[in-house]
Chain A
């Protein structure tokens, strides 16, 4: 039994299932995208929190240079969950402290530091007395020691023996310096400190607050109460930012990006859904006219259309939210198990309340905004129109189709596309907008590739470096290392800094670097101008590294130790270039001739994927203690992780834009067909074949795609050029060229989806009997 006129909505929805399907899909898509984006942002924040705790520690403020009594007072506050003192010396690994010939850094901490503040506990126990110490866990591999073993620390003032009570996780800094970290309790630390007459280092007192309080206010209270200045307090901005208590908030940044996307999707969603509802209403103008005939007021019609639209949300929002959650889980799983690195902390099967709420809001908002105009349009349908029998809206036709130049079906298709200016502008603008957005974002992709240095092919896993950056690393070491089964490749570089030169370009000194075969081959990728082939072998040609402040260009000549060298090419970047000095690259033979050096400054080693820590240790032993051994495997992983995160983000944006483009095109074509279905029925009755109908719809779709692509390219290319110049040319010197690849991709996508969009509607027409097509409501 119908209770009100609005009870007609679910009944009508059942009958118009097909027409409503497209609108429901639009809502699902919007809700799904927003739920997924906000859920991913939420998961990203959760991951960053864990990562911030792991990388920077689980503390909110670090107090410097404060007396011990104040430390105690603060530590006993009810809002403080954990606190610890932290003293350190030889942090820069510049003093002569050794454990078995490896340099060592020392820190004295309370127990909370290991367990609650830094979460760096690996195994064993916190040192209970002055004879016990903890070591970073790289010591286990390097020395083969275990808990309970004795170890001797060599200091400039004599050796001290300790018992190893446990191990802490190594930091990437410790790994990079190839040093050992020693963690002591305060008694042991004070003792070694006193014995060695070290100048008193600045102690730090780490504090972690209860997260349910207003941390910002508490910090201000502490400052005021104890008279601390800004110099006394440093904040863990990473953690405070993520938990939303910092003005320089990572969380705010991430949510800002999500909010921008929210607006983008909302706009796209409103455009898509408004189109759907508009067509839906246009198709049923007789129905609304009939409602007006039998006494429905305009307000009632508006309410009817709005509620009808909201009725779709009942189905669409839950589906969109569930899809969003599932996709978030899948993406998180890919990030965690596929890319790993810094994503190893991302939660996989968690649900984000903020994601779900945003999804629901976007669903309802899009529908309400989108239904606004069609509702008004429906209310304006004249009751007379309902009884006139004239079904097609022919008011918009102002001129006839041009049947002279094209076959009739093509002429009609093109005419359908261009006859309504409003529709043509909307359609081509949505095409063009997608192309412009896609082209603009492709610059961001280039920028990411340049800025983030995705593990370039020349990045080493391990470097053997001379202690004073001189060419003193034995050349024969390469031969000793290169044949090991876990080695991918080994290559060396000679380096000479601040070499005096004479030139007419106002340059007095340069840094000179040698590249051997591998590095020269990799350099081909980075050459922005000139010829690299000339510098091979013993020649007088060199490459300059691009620097926007450097006056050097191709053809410039420099006098170096009485020899004239000429710049034959410019490299966009090099990891070896130092700011402020012009860097010149030459072949090994040229370098040897110019400088007289023959050994390397650095030997870089790339390991195979299956190389283990033990293999790295073998290299360490081969190199001996004469050189600095820099193990970059951990930081390389971090670089890869960050790179992939950005790439994923940018590709995510591009994918969303592409997805909206494809869906919008398909939706528009389908709607356009729905609006003309009766006309197609008549044409078929008169004798138009299915293939002619398909050609007609294809001509319409291709017209939109062609005009849209043209406008998109005309507007998109200058924007691309502008962005490219500002984001890339100014920093890396790359010259702008027409972005054929992204252009081809997006135009191909637009044209393909236009053609694919024809398939379903023409199948629908084929499957419908001509009678049904003519009489369809």
Chain B
């Protein structure tokens, strides 16, 4: 089942002589439960692509359909609510809410929707994340790896159609990095979550079903494993 459809996405920064083309006609689709990794050099346009897909940034041209809905045809408020319910974000710097404890951070998107969180689901996610014992801890009482796990839990709670992860292991040591990737893979397999992840670390792409490469704004679909495609 097709979840994401990106059509001729272009993003240009600046005007005239100073303009920089960050994204040139990027097009691809993703199926439900697919785990894709975007690789590319620094400044190649990976984050721009991810931000446009997440509706955080407006493209210069092109379309993004999520669940067959054109996200850029939505009003600001409509898009916010759509994002809240359908897209989950995992950032490199975790970006947890410092005033909320682990459990509150996880259920935050549900609370924003003025819904009551399902206790069973919360327990299950805490269990999967291995944070049951630390549910009342504040972010400043957690390690980097634990904080990132909370951030992943926050995306899982709404069961979004798409999880976007921007360098989720960028601030973590190798053990924590592997834990986070395992968790994302688990989410993809166990919860059938569609995940699009940016990474620098090619070793971490081994868990992904599919590799997309961005180079100077041009997206290339490498298909299966990164190593296989290069060899």
Residues on A facing B (Cβ under 8 Å): 389-392, 394-395, 397-401, 403, 407-409, 412, 415-416, 419, 678-679, 682-692, 769-771, 774
Is A690 in contact with B80, judged by CB distance below 8 angstroms? yes
Is B80 in contact with A688, judged by CB distance below 8 angstroms? yes
Query: Whole-angstrom distance between the alpha carbons of A415 and B100 in the complex?
Result: 10
Q: Which of B94-137 contact A (CB under 8 A)?
A: 95, 97-101, 104, 108-109, 111-114, 136
B56 beta carbon closer than 8 Å to chain A: yes
User: Sorted from nearest, which 5 A-B pairs have the closest CB atoms?
Assistant: A687-B84, A408-B111, A682-B95, A394-B98, A400-B101
Is B77 in contact with A392, judged by CB distance below 8 angstroms? no
In this complex, what residue of A is CB-closest to B85?
A687
8 Å CB contact of A391 from B54, B93, B140: B93
Q: Min CB distance, B87 to chain A, in Å?
A: 8
B81 beta carbon closer than 8 Å to chain A: yes
In this complex, what residue of B is CB-closest to A407?
B114
Report chain B residues within 8 Å CB of A394.
98, 138-140
Report chain A residues within 8 Å CB of B140.
394-395, 397
Query: Whole-angstrom distance between the alpha carbons of A250 and B58 in the complex?
Result: 67
8 Å CB contact of B138 from A397, A679, A685: A397
Query: Whole-angstrom distance between the alpha carbons of A395 and B139 in the complex?
Result: 10
8 Å CB contact of A400 from B77, B95, B104, B171: B104
Give the number of residue pairs across the A-B interface with Cβ within 8 Å.
93
Is B97 in contact with A682, judged by CB distance below 8 angstroms? yes
Report chain A residues within 8 Å CB of B63.
none
Report chain A residues within 8 Å CB of B173.
none
B91 beta carbon closer than 8 Å to chain A: yes
Is B104 in contact with A403, judged by CB distance below 8 angstroms? yes
B35 beta carbon closer than 8 Å to chain A: no
Is B76 in contact with A690, judged by CB distance below 8 angstroms? yes
Report chain B residues within 8 Å CB of A400.
99-101, 104, 136, 138
CB within 8 Å for A419 and B83 given contacts A685-B54, A771-B51: no
Query: Whole-angstrom distance between the alpha carbons of A692 and B109 in the complex?
Result: 12
Is A686 in contact with B84, judged by CB distance below 8 angstroms? yes
Report chain A residues within 8 Å CB of B97.
412, 679, 682-683
Please name 29 pairs of A and B residues whose Cβ atoms are closer than 8 Å in the assembled complex, sorted by A: A394-B139, A394-B140, A397-B138, A400-B101, A400-B104, A400-B136, A401-B99, A412-B99, A412-B100, A416-B99, A683-B97, A683-B112, A684-B80, A685-B91, A685-B95, A686-B83, A686-B84, A686-B89, A686-B108, A686-B112, A687-B83, A687-B112, A688-B112, A692-B112, A769-B57, A769-B58, A770-B57, A771-B57, A774-B91
Report chain A residues within 8 Å CB of B84.
686-688
Report chain B residues within 8 Å CB of A687.
80-81, 83-85, 109, 112-113
Report chain A residues within 8 Å CB of B76.
690
Additional 16 contacts, C-beta under 8 A, given A401-B104, A687-B112: A391-B93, A392-B98, A394-B138, A398-B138, A399-B138, A400-B100, A407-B114, A408-B111, A679-B97, A682-B97, A683-B97, A685-B54, A685-B83, A686-B108, A688-B112, A770-B57
Report chain A residues within 8 Å CB of B101.
400
Report chain B residues within 8 Å CB of A397.
98-99, 138, 140
Query: Whole-angstrom distance between the alpha carbons of A690 and B84 in the complex?
Result: 13
B46 beta carbon closer than 8 Å to chain A: no
Report chain A residues within 8 Å CB of B95.
678-679, 682, 685, 774
Q: Which of A399, A769, A771 has the most CB of B within 10 A?
A: A771
Is A679 in contact with B112, judged by CB distance below 8 angstroms? no
B149 beta carbon closer than 8 Å to chain A: no
